[in-house]
Amino acid sequence: MGILYEDSVVITHGEKSGDPHVITVNCPDKTGLGSDLCRIVLLFGLSISRGDFSTDGKWCYIVFWVVGKPSTRWPLLKKRLLEVCPSHFSTTGIRFYQQDKEIQKPPDVFLLKFWCSSHPKGLLHDVSELLCELELTIRRVKVSTAPDGKMMDLFFITDTRELLRTRKRQEETMHRLKAILADVLMSCEIELAGPEFTACSQGSPYLPSSIAEELFSLELPFGPPNRHLPSNSVVVDMDNAISRSHTVLQLLCLDHKGLVYDIMRTLKDYSIQVSYGRFYINSKGKCDVELFTMQSDGSKIVDSNKQNALCSRLRMELTRPLRVAVVSRGPDTELLVANPVELSGRGRPLVFHDITLALKHLNTSIFSVEIGRHMIHDREWEVYRILLDEGDIVSVQQTKIEEGVRNILMGW
């Protein structure tokens, strides 16, 4: 007898408060499944403290030990994890994961547009948190302040539930939005996005050359620890002698939010498959990872150029998974945050949520926001440009803002 589809994902809760919850996935395998699962775990705000992977190329068995929150919606998490698990009818040797990509159409993009008479500190974070709760994914944001102090907010969003075309779903969203914006909300509407989404996606064509060089440098940083994670804290080794059929990747680095996702998305982008692996967070807060890998054709990674390229990329992604800088633009102060986009076209989850949370903690107001994508060094980057209220910069130093934002994004 086969495994019921609903049993492909089993969540076992910790026996007492503080104990990790165990997520077990038992389903047909596909390239990039580990990355997809880790992305969902990150999206739900969970951290993975330990994991085991095992696959024979057709069927996989994955176990994550995760630290949750009291507000975690476990049934919904299971549903979203099940959605990325291949069908049980996919074990016939057919390259099913490619077919899935071919028949999957891009989600509809909607424009959530509202005007506020003012922007209290923390308002954008409250909106971001609500949209996450409603499973509305933020694709782009553009916030601007009029001369009279009123603010126009444009949120380009997609709906995980695919119901935003319905009047009921739109009314639910606007009702929840009105509840948190209270008296400052002047108007609100939701419509299918048009050409303005493409225009907003392109972002501002101008990025200061000096800051662009620092943000998007492919060189490993050796600056002070308060600006970057020191590169010597990330160890990446590749060994072809341990196994006759696999290339063994061994990594040791300081833990951060989404670390396992950063490893798995990098391997997915390089079409590297994990046959077996395990990782855990040790008592010193470092993550110890050992992965038995092979290329998509089933061969070991023996080409020295491929080895060096993969090891270099892993070191970079684990050293600087996100780029953060605070710069002066004349009399204005701008916060820039950038993260690489997956080859699948997806950005990193919860970045805008975490940025606005950090600024809320720092009691810093936002004057304007622009999120766009840029092709730099042959890679696509999602860039968040946030102009800060100049009145708040006097009381909060730029270095404190940069450090505070980075710490929230990295989970430190």
Question: Average pLDDT for residues 104-128, to the nearest whole number?
Answer: 88
Where does residue 78 rank: exposed (0-12), middle (13-18), buried (19+ CB within 10 A)? middle
Residue 161: predicted pLDDT: 93
Question: Average pLDDT for residues 304-325, to the nearest whole number?
Answer: 93
For residues 332 and 252, the model is more confident at 252
Residue 395: predicted pLDDT: 55
Question: Average pLDDT for residues 28-33, to the nearest whole number?
Answer: 89
For residues 13 and 98, the model is more confident at 13
Both tokens assigned to 301:
């990674």
Q: Does residue 219 register a pLDDT over 50? A: yes
Residue 336: predicted pLDDT: 92
**CATH 3.30.70.260 domain locations along the chain:** 1-91, 107-200
Q: Which CATH class is domain 107-200?
A: alpha beta
Closest CA to 113 of 148, 141, 145, 139: 141
Residue 98: predicted pLDDT: 43
Output the CA–CA distances (angstroms, integers) from residue 231 to 177, 221, 234, 314, 373, in the order listed: 43, 6, 6, 11, 26
**143-150, long-range: CB < 8 A, 24+ apart:** 143/366, 143/368, 143/369, 143/370, 144/368, 145/119, 145/367, 145/368, 149/117, 149/118, 150/115, 150/116, 150/117, 150/118, 150/186
**Average pLDDT along the chain:** 86
Residue 95: predicted pLDDT: 43
Question: Average pLDDT for residues 97-122, to the nearest whole number?
Answer: 75
Cβ burial 34-49 (10 Å sphere, 16+ → b, else e): bbbbbbbbbbbbbbbb
Percentage of the chain surpassing pLDDT 90?
A: 60
Distance CA 286, CA 263 (A): 14
Q: Name the pTM for this structure.
A: 0.87
Residue 232: predicted pLDDT: 57
Q: Does residue 36 register a pLDDT over 70? A: yes
Q: Does residue 411 register a pLDDT over 70? A: yes
Residue 318: predicted pLDDT: 93
Concatenate the DSSP letters of all residues of 19-64 into one string: PPEEEEEEEE--TTHHHHHHHHHHHTT-EEEEEEEEE-SSEEEEEE
Q: Which CATH class is domain 1-91?
A: alpha beta
Both tokens assigned to 265:
């998305």
Angle between helices 259-269 and 304-319 (to 10 degrees): 150
Q: Which residues lie below 8 Å from residue 87, measured CB to CB, with a gap of 6+? A: 5, 28, 96
Closest CA to 184 of 139, 151, 224, 223: 151
Residue 15: predicted pLDDT: 87
Residue 375: predicted pLDDT: 84
Residue 3: predicted pLDDT: 54
Q: Does residue 396 register a pLDDT over 80? A: no
Closest CA to 85 of 180, 14, 9: 9
Q: Does residue 1 register a pLDDT over 60? A: no
Distance CA 215, CA 197 (A): 25
Where does the pLDDT of residue 241 fall: very low under 50, low under 70, confident under 90, or very high at 90 and above? very high
pLDDT in tens, 166-214: 999 999 999 999 999 988 999 999 999 876 665 555 555 556 665 666 6
pLDDT in tens, 59-91: 999 999 999 888 899 999 999 999 999 876 554
∠ Cα 168 172 177 (to 5°) = 150
Residue 209: predicted pLDDT: 65
Poorest-confidence range of 90-99, 137-146, 292-301, 303-312? 90-99
Residue 132: predicted pLDDT: 94
Contact criterion met (CB below 8 Å) for 157 and 139: yes
Beta bridge partners of residue 190, listed in sequence order: 112
Q: DSSP class of residue 257?
A: T
For residues 344 and 40, the model is more confident at 40
For residues 17 and 127, the model is more confident at 127
Residue 104: predicted pLDDT: 61
Residue 97: predicted pLDDT: 43
Q: Does residue 148 register a pLDDT over 60? A: yes
